[in-house]
Structure 1
Amino acid sequence: MLDPNIREALFWYLDNNYGKHRTFEEVPIHTSRADIYAVTDYGLIGFEIKSDNDTYSRLASQVKNYDVYFDFNYVVVGKTHRKGVEKHIPDYWGIFCVYESDGGVSVELVRPHGKNPKVKLKKQMELLWKRELSHILAVNFMPGYPQKSKDFIRKKLLERVPEEFLKKQMYEELFERDYTLL
């Protein structure tokens, strides 16, 4: 199973099993790229794809990067990696296997995700655009800081807004992201 086929099957699975969600592809996260991440009402979920042609050579560094950005993580593999991948990921990572079956393509949940103990809200906030950060400032009745950097704004939000509120506001901004404003 190749990457494009795995993606297509995963998107279908998410659309049919995850309720309200929004997906983003090929997003830079530190020294890696998140193949896919989804925003849901309860957290950010990262999906690292390992097709049948992929190796595990970069997986250790990808796991480190995913762990600081996403509340939950999955590795999504083709059938050749189904049995061996669990040795390469933490036990709180979930596993999906995508493979060809008689009826087309199947998506199997091999292992559900657990709560990621290493996620950092500060890193998650890096996924937001300045316009989104500014909206969160306004929602929290804070000054706009129009001449300040995204780093400055993130720091102010982290100092003044309780984490549970800030996370919910971040999820809502990602749900509502408008790419036509670029």
Structure 2
Amino acid sequence: MVKVWDPMVRIFHWGLVLSFVVAWLSAESIDNLHHWAGYAAGGLIGFRLVWGLIGPRYARFTQFVKGPGTIAAFILAMLGGKERRYLGHNPAGGAMILTLLVSLGTTAATGWMMTLAQYAKADWVESLHEGAANLTLILVLAHIAGVLWVSWHHKENLAKSMVDGQKRAAENDDVS
């Protein structure tokens, strides 16, 4: 086993999970809790953007941000059950991270905008906020499905690795 996910990535990940779940569940009922969960999500996203530039190897955007051709080739290989195992994020996982950061960042930013006088009655801000939140939920479900698929296919519990930071060492054709 090798250490892949540093403590900051893991705290960010589970903190974002918690803030999104709390915000989602409190959306129509507990405004103050909903707002604070949104602020937490926004702060976590801001942290992750910085950590993606200065953090350790597997936290850095340069390690997992790939071009559209690489992402498409990985997804096609995955659909055929022939994708390579990655020690860090695979190309589809990297694309999902960026997409989730944008969708959840949009949700947090528009939620904050709704607390400002100039946007409090702007229907487009509320519509964008709700649309981004709904898109985030769909993306989270797709992320979970991808994690389950890759965990099953490579016989490796990826959720556990996001708790303890450990993954099986790279072998043969794996990408480290």
Provide the TM-score with structure 2 as the length reference: 0.26
Identify the structure with bigger relative contact order (alpha carbons < 8 Å, sequence gap 6+).
2
**Under a length normalisation based on structure 1, what TM-score does the superposition of the two structures give?**
0.25
Of Structure 1 and Structure 2, the greater strand share is in 1
Query: Which structure is higher in helix share?
Result: 2
